[in-house]
């Protein structure tokens, strides 16, 4: 497997062109929520970066930087009200960089960042039943498939299942201790 070094950092306005170039891909969009724009213009990138830059710190969204360029993104959406102990994780990567193990490492790093910076008990992700690569990423990063939410979503006109994967703070603490 080809390995590539990457860096996670906060988004900068100067990322907008590279963001649009990598995000403007139907094969990326097909696996994401419909609020992700398609086609994805540089202006969509600018709007996204301005929107997340205005949020309170610590940052919930990170750019995935390869060879100095922002080529993907990962973020959490902390839940509210009685679910304020959990957050949803979402991510994507430019197609040129797929299948090099990047996202598995990125997800692990984001899990650590999240538990270090937010008082959350649980991080979950809900890939579509057909998003096999994403499910593999979550499994390789130590997530557990807790449930299948049958017929929970519609994508491209088809009713689809969502697979609910989770990672708990207790698990993260156990892993950190195990390392030393
Ligand atoms: C899902 C995604 C983030 C994966 O990123 P990545 O850096 O390629 O992931 P990794 O290389 O760490 O792991 C991908 C795994 O999926 C496997 N895979 C890829 N396509 C596959 C397919 N069609 N069927 C089965 N396995 C597949 C790879 O072989 C690899 O597993 P392996 O290490 O056991 O060989 C990337 O494909 C992507 O951005 N897709 C579009 C958006 C998306 O799906 N986002 C997630 C929404 S929940």
Mean pLDDT by 10 residues, the chain (180 residues): 82 98 98 98 98 97 98 98 98 98 98 98 98 98 98 98 98 83
The candidate with the shortest Cα–Cα distance to 73, out of 64, 81, 82, is 64
What pLDDT shows up at residue 30? 98
Q: Would the CB of 99 count as within 6 Å of ligand 1? A: yes
Q: Would the CB of 171 count as within 6 Å of ligand 1? A: no
What's the Cα-to-Cα distance from 32 to each of 59, 117, 120, 170, 180, rounded to whole Å? 21, 26, 24, 28, 37
pTM, whole model, 2 decimals?
A: 0.96
User: Atom of ligand 1 at shortest distance to CA of 134?
Assistant: 1
Q: Would the CB of 175 count as within 6 Å of ligand 1? A: no
Write down the H helix ranges in 42-88.
Answer: 42-53
For residue 71, what are its two tokens?
């080529």
Gap between the Cα atoms of 175 and 4, Å rounded: 24
Please say whether the beta carbons of 15 and 70 come within 8 A.
Answer: yes
What pLDDT shows up at residue 1? 54
Task: Tell me the CB-side half-sphere exposure of residue 136, using CA atoms within 13 A.
Answer: 10
Please say whether the beta carbons of 106 and 64 come within 8 A.
Answer: yes
What pLDDT shows up at residue 7? 97
What pLDDT shows up at residue 123? 98
Q: Would the CB of 89 count as within 6 Å of ligand 1? A: no
What pLDDT shows up at residue 177? 74
CA nearest ligand 1 atom 34, residue: 136
């Amino acid at each position: 497997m080809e390995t590539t070094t990457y860096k996670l950092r906060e988004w900068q306005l100067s990322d907008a062109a590279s963001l649009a170039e990598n995000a403007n891909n139907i094969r990326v969009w097909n696996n994401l929520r419909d609020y992700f724009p398609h086609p994805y213009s540089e202006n969509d990138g600018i709007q996204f970066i301005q929107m997340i830059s205005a949020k309170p710190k610590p940052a919930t969204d990170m750019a995935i930087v390869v060879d100095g360029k922002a080529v993907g993104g990962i973020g959490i959406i902390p839940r509210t009200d009685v679910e304020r102990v959990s957050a949803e994780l979402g991510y994507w990567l430019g197609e040129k960089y797929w299948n090099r193990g990047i996202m598995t490492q990125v997800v692990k790093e984001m899990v650590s960042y999240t538990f270090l910076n937010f008082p959350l008990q649980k991080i979950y992700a809900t890939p579509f039943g057909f998003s096999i690569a994403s499910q593999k990423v979550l499994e390789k990063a130590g997530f557990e498939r807790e449930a299948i939410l049958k017929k929970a979503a519609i994508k491209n006109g088809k009713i689809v299942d969502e697979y609910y994967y989770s990672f708990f703070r207790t698990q993260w603490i156990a892993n950190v201790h195990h390392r030393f």
